[in-house]
């Protein structure tokens, strides 16, 4: 049975509205999602991501061992350098996504809510004779996102992942309320997700399903290293990269702003010329409201959908921009 991540104490802040679905346990917003987006873009505030799982891998063999399991080249990962990595099935389908950094003695990683127990079970099953210790640190540490351009100080001793999109802190969970009081204003997951979709960044469980391969959502290079040694699923990665094309591709959609409701995850995508009863060519993965762009979305569509074809999402008109080229 999946252990629940502790509910964030920041849900008691004024205006906090709880998130639902995969982001349950933290705030969706604190009263004004558009204002929160603008603050993040300006480098102000933070996002409480304390619902994400936190795992650590310590021991002398931690990097060489992870190198055998992950799609990323981490055997010589310098301390402090962030890396994104996947664990694939034997058929090359994405099973786990890890966002990691090594502090010189321990690898820290945060993962999607609801995935940590399956990931930990897999890692434990692969330990064999390696000198590694795998631990679930979710109850003790919370992930906090500081946007790019933030000048908020990082408390002494806190492990940080520096990325182009900002800094991710592995903050002691007991310090979360005090940190929020000093470094607000807080922004909710709706603001964080809107900026993620604008940046075309896929998320496990949103832009992936049981058969997604890394090529379909643009993770070759960023999370999949093509010149490293063997790992589970590598044959599929190499075959598609060298000999073929993925069956689907990620697209960015501008949605008709006159619609009141956003399309839900899984809403069918069709050619506008075929109408709402036409053949389904894909589905929406994440739809959000952006403070400047209006309603936007990411979607997975068949590779052969013309890149200039007008689309409809359910009954909503949509214009597409390729994220993954056909």
Q: 91: Cβ–Cβ under 8 A, 6 or more apart, which residues?
A: 233, 236
Residue 218 lies in a domain: no
- One domain for residues 261 and 317: yes
Q: How many domains does the chain have?
A: 3
Do 125 and 270 have their domain in common? no
Q: Which of 193, 189, 177 is nearest to 12 (CA)?
A: 177
In whole angstroms, what is the distance from residue 218 CA to residue 226 CA? Answer: 13
Q: How many helices (H) and strands (E) in the chain?
A: 6, 18
Q: Is the pTM of this model over 0.85?
A: yes
pLDDT averaged over every residue in the chain:
96
pLDDT beyond 70 at 3: no
Q: Within this chain, do residues 126 and 172 fall inside the same structural domain, yes or no?
A: no
Q: Say if residue 191 is in the same domain as residue 180.
A: yes
Per residue in 130-179, pLDDT (tens digit) is 999 999 999 999 999 999 999 999 999 999 999 999 999 999 999 999 99
Whether 239 is covered by a domain: the verdict is: no
Tens-digit pLDDT profile for residues 88-136: 999 999 999 999 999 999 999 999 999 999 999 999 999 999 999 999 9
Condensed to tens digits (0 to 9), the pLDDT of residues 4-49 reads: 778 999 999 999 999 999 999 999 999 999 999 999 999 999 999 9
Structure tokens at 125: 């099953």
- 151 and 121 in a single domain? The answer is no
- Tell me if 233 is assigned to some domain: no
Residue of 195, 110, 97, 190 whose CA lies nearest to 147:
195
- Nearest 10 degrees: CA dihedral of 262, 165, 69, 21? -30
Does 231 fall in a domain?
no
Q: Are residues 111 and 152 in the same domain?
A: no
Which residues on neighbouring strands pair with residue 166, listed in sequence order?
Answer: 147, 163
Q: Which residues of 30-45 are buried (b: 16+ CB within 10 A; e: fewer)?
A: bebbebbbbbbbeebb
208 domain residue, yes or no: no
Binding site residues for substrate, as ranges? 168
Q: What residue numbers does the annotated binding site cover?
A: 168
> Over 70: is that where the pLDDT of 1 sits?
no
- Which CATH number does the domain housing residue 309 bear? 2.40.30.110
Contacting residues for 120 by C-beta, under 8 A, at least 6 apart: 55, 134, 136
| Domain containing residue 149 | 9-52+140-199
pLDDT in tens, 244-294: 899 999 999 999 988 778 999 999 999 999 999 999 999 999 999 999 999
Query: What CATH number has the domain bearing residue 79?
Result: 3.30.70.1400
The answer to whether 43 touches 150, Cβ cutoff 8 Å, is yes
Distances in Å between the Cα of 8 and the Cα atoms of 47, 65, 125 are: 12, 33, 31
């Amino acid at each position: 049975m999946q252990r629940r991540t502790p509910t964030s104490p920041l849900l008691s802040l004024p205006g906090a509205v709880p998130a639902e679905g995969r982001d349950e346990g933290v705030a969706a917003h604190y009263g004004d999602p558009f204002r929160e987006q603008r603050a993040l873009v300006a480098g102000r505030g933070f996002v409480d991501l304390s619902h994400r799982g936190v795992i650590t891998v310590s021991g002398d063999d931690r990097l060489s061992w992870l190198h055998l399991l992950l799609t990323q080249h981490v055997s010589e990962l310098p301390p402090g350098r962030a890396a994104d990595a996947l664990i694939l099935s034997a058929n090359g389908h994405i099973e786990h996504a890890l966002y990691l950094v090594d502090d010189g003695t321990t690898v820290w990683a945060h993962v999607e809510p609801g995935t940590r127990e399956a990931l930990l079970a897999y890692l434990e099953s692969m330990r064999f004779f390696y000198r590694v210790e795998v631990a679930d640190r979710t109850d003790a540490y919370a992930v906090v996102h500081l946007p790019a351009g933030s000048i908020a100080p990082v408390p002494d001793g806190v492990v940080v992942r520096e990325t182009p999109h900002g800094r991710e802190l592995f903050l002691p969970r007991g310090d979360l309320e005090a940190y929020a009081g000093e470094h607000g204003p807080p922004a909710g997951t709706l603001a964080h997700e809107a900026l993620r979709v604008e940046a075309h960044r896929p998320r496990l469980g949103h832009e992936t399903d049981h058969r997604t391969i890394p090529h379909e959502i643009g993770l070759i290079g960023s999370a999949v290293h093509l010149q490293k040694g063997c790992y589970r699923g590598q044959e599929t990665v190499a075959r598609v990269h060298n000999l073929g094309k993925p069956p689907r591709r990620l697209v960015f959609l501008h949605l008709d702003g006159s619609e009141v409701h956003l399309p839900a995850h899984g809403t069918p995508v069709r050619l506008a010329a075929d109408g709402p009863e036409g053949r389904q060519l894909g589905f929406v993965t994440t739809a959000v409201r952006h403070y400047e762009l209006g309603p936007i979305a990411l979607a997975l569509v068949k590779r052969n959908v013309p890149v200039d074809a007008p689309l409809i999402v359910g009954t909503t008109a949509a214009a597409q921009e390729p994220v993954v080229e056909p």
